[in-house]
């Protein structure tokens, strides 16, 4: 057995009183590890019996226990002449200041907070055993009446006892305070870490957003080039024929002044038209600097004229149903970009699925104070399995050369974040129906 | 070459009006001996074919109501030795890779280069002359 530092010949005997077997076992292990003789009682009544037999040097007791609690145990000990000076450590969780007074009243010597800290326990036990010999058994017997929170306590303990108990109470409080400080520091460190993490994450997200924006611009640019190609193909074909007519007719002797003028005029008309196309696209893809009032129907018609070539070729019929003629206050080109995205998707779905009756119906109306535009196609609809994902960034059903998966994501961002509206989709009997509400 | 009594006839099918007009004007000037009829989609083209039975069909592919390839399939069922000149080149996908549009006599890319178009027509005319003699 390990020799404890208190160099007595016989090891001191300690009685542990606790109704919780785990708590009791823990205390027993710690104290017997220090070389003390330890016995255990499960409540105050058992303790009283054991004390009579064992005559321990110190009692370490819990407060709340069945049959006889810690306070009653103290009182019984103090009432019994042979053992009235037996030092008692009460275990408390320090939740109620009245506990201090009640303990004093009952005649406890020390407080120790639960759950027990090993070092504090050992040091307090040593101190209690040491002062046992020096304790005055008689003191001033004047009783002190204390009124605290509506309760009366009469404390007859001597000054030693009061000071010891108050000191241990204070020590316990200091310990708790230290614990609190440590926790506070840990929390601050954790908080700093979290803040840094949030900052890092925000920066990452900003970068991601930027990348998305770039990709959506590139996608829009790609679409624009595709649309210009469609718009230009026909006039280029006509221009080719018109120009080649000149040497042909010259060789055939049919080149009159009138024919030449007519030929040049129609060529210039085509060239003007092609130039206008570029200007239209350019204006269209210029970023909006500020919100403006714009007519929904006109914006839709303009967007459709840009798409003319790419919708005409796969022979898609576009109907516009104007029930109302609303005006929106917002970003006109961004709104048009959303329409283009939805229309391009409809076109791709209609051609990819080789639908015979290729139709897109655009309906414009108002609902309350909101402008609503629905774009419905006849391509069979969005498969149920991907319905929830189509607005996610980078989600695409098209091959890598066809789609980047940012079109509908950006559309949702534009309508919902930039313009405070709503963009949703549902399936009708014929196909998908996108609904823009602003 | 072709006998006066039985002139070679060409059916031109193209939905873009400006191109149809120009090509018609060019072909009548270049080949004055040829009888030309025109249609603006596959369906009217097929009807015209049934009434005229032309020797050569010069057609666009993408057209409303009935496309060029679909029309050509129906024409072949009526008169298998009809010569076809297909005008292509509106989108990246070439008709040569499209199995449905495979096996025609000539493919002309748009924008049409006269030299190429005329050479194709002349080859068809030579073939017809050979068949007739």
Using the Cβ of B66 and the Cβ atoms of chain A, whether some distance falls under 8 Å is answered with no
List the structure tokens of B17.
Answer: 């009006």
Confidence band, pLDDT 50/70/90 cuts, at residue B2: very low
At which residue do the structure tokens 């010569």 appear?
A: B83
> Residue B101's pLDDT is what?
55
Using the Cβ of B32 and the Cβ atoms of chain A, whether some distance falls under 8 Å is answered with no
Using the Cβ of B64 and the Cβ atoms of chain A, whether some distance falls under 8 Å is answered with yes
Across the interface, which of A237, A239, A244 has its CB nearest the CB of B114?
Answer: A244
* Model confidence pLDDT, tens digit, residues B43-90: 999 999 999 999 999 999 888 888 888 999 999 999 999 999 999 875
C-alpha–C-alpha distance, residues A30 and A248, integer Å: 114
**Distance of residue B64 Cα from the nearest chain A Cα, in angstroms:** 7
C-alpha–C-alpha distance, residues A333 and A356, integer Å: 32
**Which residues in chain B (89-108) have CB-CB distances under 8 A to chain A?**
90-91
List the structure tokens of A104.
Answer: 């004093």
> Residue A113's pLDDT is what?
78
Determine whether the interchain pair B25/A245 forms a contact, defined as Cβ–Cβ distance below 8 Å.
yes
What does each of the 438 residues of chain A score in pLDDT, given as a tens digit? 444 444 445 789 999 999 999 889 999 999 999 999 999 999 999 999 999 988 999 999 999 898 899 999 999 998 988 888 899 999 887 667 777 788 888 888 888 877 777 888 898 898 888 877 555 444 455 677 777 777 777 777 777 777 777 777 777 787 888 888 899 999 999 999 999 999 999 889 888 878 887 787 777 777 778 778 878 888 999 999 999 999 999 999 989 999 999 999 999 999 998 888 888 777 777 777 788 899 999 999 988 888 877 777 677 889 999 999 999 998 888 898 889 889 888 888 888 887 788 899 999 999 988 999 999 999 888 888 888 888 887 777 766 555 667 778 888 888 998 888 999 999 998 899 999 999
Name the percent of chain B lying above pLDDT 70. 86
> Residue A403's pLDDT is what?
62
In chain B, residues with a C-beta closer than 8 Å to the C-beta of A259 are none
> Residue B103's pLDDT is what?
76
Say which residues have a Cβ less than 8 Å from residue A396's Cβ, sequence separation at least 6.
Answer: A402, A403, A404, A405
Determine whether the interchain pair B29/A240 forms a contact, defined as Cβ–Cβ distance below 8 Å.
no
> Where are the strands (E) in A104-225, listed by range?
110-113, 144-148, 151-155
Using the Cβ of B112 and the Cβ atoms of chain A, whether some distance falls under 8 Å is answered with yes
ipTM for the complex shown: 0.84
In chain B, residues with a C-beta closer than 8 Å to the C-beta of A348 are none
Q: Are strands B56-60 and A13-17 parallel, antiparallel or unpaired?
A: unpaired
> Residue A42's pLDDT is what?
93
In chain A, residues with a C-beta closer than 8 Å to the C-beta of B31 are none
C-alpha–C-alpha distance, residues A37 and A29, integer Å: 11
Q: Which residue in chain A is spatially nearest to B22 when comparing CA positions?
A: A241
Instruction: Give the distance, in angstroms, between the CA of residue B1 and the centroid of all CA atoms in the same chain.
Output: 20
At which residue do the structure tokens 């060789």 appear?
A: A251
> Residue A189's pLDDT is what?
94
**Distance of residue B15 Cα from the nearest chain A Cα, in angstroms:** 11
Least confident of A295-299, A414-418, B13-17, B118-122: A414-418
Using the Cβ of B19 and the Cβ atoms of chain A, whether some distance falls under 8 Å is answered with yes
pTM here is: 0.54
Q: Residues of A403-422 as b/e, b for ≥16 C-beta within 10 angstroms?
A: bbbbbbbbbbbbbbeebebe
Determine whether the interchain pair A241/B90 forms a contact, defined as Cβ–Cβ distance below 8 Å.
no
Across the interface, which of A240, A254, A314 has its CB nearest the CB of B111?
Answer: A240
């Amino acid at each position: 057995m390990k020799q404890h530092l208190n160099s007595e010949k016989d090891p001191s005997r300690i009685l542990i009183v606790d109704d919780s077997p785990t708590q009791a076992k823990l205390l027993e292990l710690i104290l017997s590890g220090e070389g003390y003789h330890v016995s255990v009682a499960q409540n105050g009544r058992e303790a009283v019996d054991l004390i009579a037999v064992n005559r321990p040097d110190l009692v370490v007791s819990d407060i709340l226990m069945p049959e006889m609690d810690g306070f009653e145990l103290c009182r019984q000990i103090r009432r019994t002449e042979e053992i009235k000076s037996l030092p008692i450590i009460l275990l408390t969780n320090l939740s109620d200041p009245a506990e201090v007074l009640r303990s004093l009243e009952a005649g406890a010597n020390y407080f120790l907070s639960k759950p027990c800290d090993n070092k504090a326990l050992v040091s307090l036990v040593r101190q209690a055993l040491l002062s046992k010999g020096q304790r005055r058994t008689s003191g001033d017997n004047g009783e002190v009446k204390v009124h605290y929170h509506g309760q009366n306590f009469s404390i007859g303990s001597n000054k030693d006892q009061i000071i010891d108990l108050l000191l241990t109470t204070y020590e316990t409080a200091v310990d708790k305070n230290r614990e609190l400080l440590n926790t506070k520091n840990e929390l601050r460190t954790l908080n700093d870490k979290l803040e840094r993490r949030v900052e890092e994450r925000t920066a990452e997200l900003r970068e991601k957003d930027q990348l998305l924006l770039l990709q959506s611009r590139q996608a829009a640019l790609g679409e624009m080039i595709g649309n210009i190609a469609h718009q230009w193909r026909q006039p280029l074909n006509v221009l080719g024929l018109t120009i080649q007519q000149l040497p042909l007719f010259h060789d055939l002797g049919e080149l009159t002044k009138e024919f030449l003028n007519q030929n040049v005029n129609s060529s210039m008309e085509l060239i003007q038209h092609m130039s206008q196309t570029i200007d239209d696209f350019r204006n269209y893809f210029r970023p909006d600097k500020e919100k403006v009032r714009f007519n929904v129907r006109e914006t839709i018609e303009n967007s459709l004229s840009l798409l003319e070539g790419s919708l005409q070729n796969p022979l898609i019929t576009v109907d516009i149903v104007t029930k109302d003629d609303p005006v929106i206050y917002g970003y006109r080109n961004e709104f048009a970009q959303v329409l283009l995205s939805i229309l391009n998707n409809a076109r791709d779905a209609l051609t990819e699925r080789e639908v015979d009756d290729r139709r897109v119906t655009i309906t414009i109306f108002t609902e309350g104070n909101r402008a609503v535009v629905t774009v419905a196609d006849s391509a069979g609809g969005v498969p149920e399995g991907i319905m929830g994902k189509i607005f996610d960034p980078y989600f695409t059903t098209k091959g890598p050369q066809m789609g980047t998966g940012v079109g509908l994501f950006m559309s949702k961002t534009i309508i919902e974040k930039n313009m405070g509206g709503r963009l949703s989709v549902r399936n009708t009997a014929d196909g998908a129906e996108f609904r823009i509400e602003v | 070459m072709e006998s006066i009594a039985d002139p070679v006839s060409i059916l031109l099918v193209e939905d873009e009006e400006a191109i149809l007009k120009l090509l018609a004007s060019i072909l009548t000037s270049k080949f004055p001996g040829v009888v030309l009829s025109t249609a603006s989609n596959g369906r009217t083209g097929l009807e015209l074919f049934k009434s005229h039975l032309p020797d050569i069909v010069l057609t666009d592919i993408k057209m409303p109501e009935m496309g060029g390839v679909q029309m050509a399939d129906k024409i072949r069922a009526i008169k298998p030795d009809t010569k076809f000149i297909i005008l292509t080149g509106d989108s990246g996908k070439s008709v040569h890779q499209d199995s449905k549009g495979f096996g025609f006599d000539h493919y002309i890319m748009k924008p049409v280069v006269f030299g190429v178009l005329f050479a194709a027509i002349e080859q068809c005319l030579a073939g017809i002359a050979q068949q007739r003699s």
